[in-house]
Amino acid sequence: MLEDKNIPKTPVATLGEFELIKTITKEFKINEKSTQVGIGDDAAVIQHGKEDTLVSTDLLIEGVHFDLSYMPLKHLGYKAVMVNLSDIYAMNGIATQITFSLAFSNRFPLEAIEELYAGIYLACENYKVDLVGGDTTSSTTGLMLSLTAIGKAPKKEITQRSGAKEGNLVVVTGDLGGAYMGLQVLEREKAVFQVNPQSQPDLSEYSYCIERQLKPEARTDIKALLNELDVKPTSMIDISDGLSSEILHISKASKLGCQIYEDKIPIDPEVGKTCEEFKINNTTAALNGGEDYELLFTIEQNDFEKVKGHPHLSVIGHMTDQASGYNMVTGLGQQIELTAQGWNGIKSEE
């Protein structure tokens, strides 16, 4: 998993910008019929007939959002696209295009940049989106990625954070806390490796957690699933910063309170076991961990029977009036207040 030092290393400076762009984008095809003009002009041209256009953007910085000592570049490219598409899915939209810009220092040879693009390419193929533009520049230090996703949806299907109503049920897809525990495992292995570079750790018992951290998948399937179940979500958000932070966003945008139940929060058994080993409360991992890229949404109470027991969906609580605040009932029956985990803050200049 750690970087292979024996791959060829072509200094990018020998290519020039246009040759570089040609080299790294030659595999990309246009799949999406709304893409009229892709890479290679001042702007991409996208046609969105009667549907609304969705736009979302993310910035990923080395040393802040990712650590290349355990994040292979191909995975980083893939994950960067997932992070971005997840925002379009969180509007109940269909992602159609992305732009991808990067800045990188001379520490990165062409082969490294190609690995990064291989991940972008795979994500575009798997999620049926077109890469339609970007910008490539040098940086004085490290790697920075900037992505913008474009999507579409009929106006009546778009789901904002502000649409929840009192009494609505709170539903989460998949399970939570895995990406955070994967990070703990990788950080620990990095520390071991720094002490003993010959160590060959067996990480197979953490494979789910590590995959959640290194190769997350955005929930492109949920829109179709909800259509199939005939459920229209009233509000929706993706879980990038942890369940607690996200449910507060929905509550505040909808001017409501919320109540969730600790024992309803879906945790994978491997995540639970890893939490025990690391002496981390698994609810804390789910509430504050982030990076799971699951969707959190609200539905009308009448739709309960339609989602009940579905393997991809967990009803974890309901929306209350604003005065009741933001609460979780613990496994022991105590009510505690939910707070957004603090922002990581501004990094010191090195």
Window 9 to 48, contacts with a copy of itself (CB under 8 A): 11-13, 16-18, 36-37, 40-48
Q: List, as one string, the DSSP characters of 253-286.
A: HTT-EEEEEGGGS---HHHHHHHHHHT--HHHHH
Name the burial class of residue 13, with classes exposed (0-12), middle (13-18) and buried (19+) by CB atoms within 10 angstroms of its CB. Answer: exposed
Half-sphere exposure of 93 (CA within 13 A, CB side): 29
Binding to a copy of itself (CB under 8 A): which residues in 141-170? 141-142, 144, 146, 148-151, 155, 158, 160-162
Query: Residue 79: which residues within 8 A CB-CB, separation 6 or more?
Result: 66, 71, 119, 214, 215, 216
Q: Tell whether residue 192 is a contact of a copy of itself (CB under 8 A).
A: no
Q: Which of 73, 272, 247 is nearest to 178 (CA)?
A: 272
Stretch that binds a copy of itself, among 22-30, 202-210, 212-220, 232-240 (CB under 8 A): 232-240
Q: C-alpha distances in angstroms, 330 versus 244, 263, 322, 336, 338?
A: 14, 7, 20, 7, 11
Is the Cβ of residue 40 or residue 201 nearer to a copy of itself in the bound state? 40
Phi, psi (5° rounding) for residue 42?
-65, -35
Least distance between a copy of itself and beta carbon 65 (Å): 7
Q: Tell whether residue 131 is a contact of a copy of itself (CB under 8 A).
A: no
Q: Which of 330, 196, 176 is nearest to 262 (CA)?
A: 330
Q: Which of 33, 50, 156, 279 binds a copy of itself (CB under 8 A)?
A: 50
Least distance between a copy of itself and beta carbon 146 (Å): 4
**Longest Cα separation, the chain:** 65
Is the Cβ of residue 36 or residue 324 nearer to a copy of itself in the bound state? 36
Look-up of token digits 């967990």: 314
Q: Which of 163, 166, 171 is nearest to 296 (CA)?
A: 171
* Window 317-346: contact mask with a copy of itself (x via CB under 8 A): -----------------------x-xxxxx
Least distance between a copy of itself and beta carbon 90 (Å): 4
Q: Which of 25, 28, 32, 56 binds a copy of itself (CB under 8 A)?
A: 56
Q: Tell whether residue 57 is a contact of a copy of itself (CB under 8 A).
A: yes
Stretch that binds a copy of itself, among 58-66, 68-76, 268-276, 308-316 (CB under 8 A): 58-66
Phi, psi (5° rounding) for residue 232?
-105, 110
Q: Which of 175, 178, 174 is nearest to 273 (CA)?
A: 178
Is the Cβ of residue 123 or residue 239 nearer to a copy of itself in the bound state? 239
Cβ atoms of 145 and 108 closer than 8 Å: no
Look-up of token digits 């979780």: 328
Binding to a copy of itself (CB under 8 A): which residues in 88-107? 88, 90-91, 93, 97, 99, 101-107
Q: Which of 10, 23, 31, 139 binds a copy of itself (CB under 8 A)?
A: 139
Is the Cβ of residue 25 or residue 97 nearer to a copy of itself in the bound state? 97
202 vs 191: CA distance, rounded Å: 15
Is the Cβ of residue 34 or residue 259 nearer to a copy of itself in the bound state? 34
249 vs 171: CA distance, rounded Å: 15
Q: Which of 2, 9, 29, 64 binds a copy of itself (CB under 8 A)?
A: 64
Q: Tell whether residue 232 is a contact of a copy of itself (CB under 8 A).
A: no
Q: Tell whether residue 239 is a contact of a copy of itself (CB under 8 A).
A: no
Question: How many of the chain's residues bind a copy of itself (CB under 8 A)?
Answer: 83
